Every structure is written in structure tokens, then in C-alpha cells.
Amino acid sequence: DNLLGISWVDSSWIPILNNGSVLDYFSERSNPFYDRTCNNEVVKMQRMTLDHLNQMVGVEYILLHAQEPILFIIRKQQRQSPTQVIPLADYYIIAGVIYQAPDLGSVINSRVLTAVHGIQSAFEEAMSYCRYHPSKGYWWHFKDQEEREKTKPKAKKKEEPSSIFQRQRVDALLLDLRQKFPPRFVQQKPGEKPIPVDQIKKEPEPVPEAVKPEEKETVKNAQSAGAKGPPEKRMRLQ
């Protein structure tokens, strides 16, 4: 079983952990990292000291490094002779919590998997922005570009000048509408409040001047003469 992803702790031992008690703490039955078939268990059952481990052959646990009271490193090794051992695994205890130290193969495997996962995620992300159309070919379509285009102020299009025909037609339509729907309010000056048309004072029309009866007759005669034309000339008889 892979024990790299688990940890174990017994809070009752944390206040009394030291160089002499750390192996007893590690040999607790509930510790998943401890092998009960090791030589340490044999020495413990026979009530011998740990010095007898050098005279035995098999799996054993030793205290490799200690930095009281926070850090302890325990090594699991295969003893073949009093002078020859093969390391199998290392365990470190930090603040009473036991972890298994990863071996070199596990570290390399984890780093490679992390790199491959990152590269694969990058390719998938890049492919999500790729677009293709038979007439256009391939191009990139980014979401950030859409947001920039939305937030970017659109340039105002220049209005084309109207033609004479359009202006005449508009004036004719406005005149027709004015005749059908005459305005009810008038704003005499810009910025002033509109005034109803009924309240506007109309200027009095000029009174025609009185014409004398003599002048009327002369005007009538002149008009009749102008209408009839000049008198005809008669030929004289000699």
C-alpha cells in the first residue's frame, strides 16, 4: 500500500517525546507505518536493549536524526550483518505527526505527472480558442478580446450630407404635418417657457384711411378710362 498520502499522530505522546521515547511512540500498534514483525518488536518482547539489534538479521527501526522537541527522523532498514544494512524507508515526525518521506522515484514521478498535467491543460485551453472555417481557415478567438471590444468606445460614423431631393421631401412633409396639426404652444425665444397660441397678443391690423368722395369718383373715372382704353381718332372731312 502507498503510505505517502497518510499521516498518524497520538496527542497523548506529544508532551513526552524525546530521544529515548520516540521509538516507543513509533512502535504503537495503531501506527500504520510500523511493521510488527521487525527486530524491534522481538527485542521489546524479550526486554532487551536496542544494542542487541546489531547482532540480529532482519528489518529494524533506528533513530537517524533528532532535533528535540520538534523533529525526529526514523529509518527502516534491512540488516544483513553487524556492519551491513540496506535502507528501506525514512519517516519524519514533526510536532508529533508521523509522515513517510517519499523516495526519489516517487518524487520524480510526481513532478513528471504534474508537468504533463500542466502541459495537457495548456493544450486543452489553447484548443478551446481555436476556430476553423472552410472559407477563412484557422484563427484564434479569445474571450478577453470580446470583452475589450465591448468596453472599447465605438467610433462615431460620419453622417453623410443629405441631398436636395431629400431636403425638399422633408420640408414638404413637415409643412403638411404643420397644416394638419397646428402647434398649440409657441416658444418665442430659446430657453423660455412655451406659451399657448391662444394667449399670444395679436397686433392690431392697420385701419384703412378714410377716402373722400371726390377722390373716390376720380379713382373710379380713372379706372373706367383705363379699362375702356383711349378714345378713337376720327377722320376729318375736307
Q: Where exactly are the structural domains of the chain?
A: 3-101, 106-146
Q: At residue 114, does pLDDT exceed 70? A: yes
Per the structure block, which three cell numbers stand in for 222?
380713372
Could you tell me which residues come within 8 angstroms of residue 77 by beta carbon, excluding any fewer than 6 positions away?
59, 60, 61, 62, 85, 86, 87, 88
d(CA 226, CA 12): 142
- What's the DSSP call for residue 48? -
In the three-class reduction of DSSP (H, G, I as helix; E, B as strand; rest coil), residue 72 is classed as: strand
Q: What mean pLDDT is predicted for residues 9-16?
A: 91
Query: pLDDT tens across 151-206, in order?
Result: 666 666 667 777 888 888 888 888 888 888 887 777 777 777 777 777 766 555 55
How many residues in the chain?
A: 238
For the entire predicted model, the pTM comes to 0.50
Could you tell me which residues come within 8 angstroms of residue 109 by beta carbon, excluding any fewer than 6 positions away?
none
CATH class of segment(s) 3-101: alpha beta
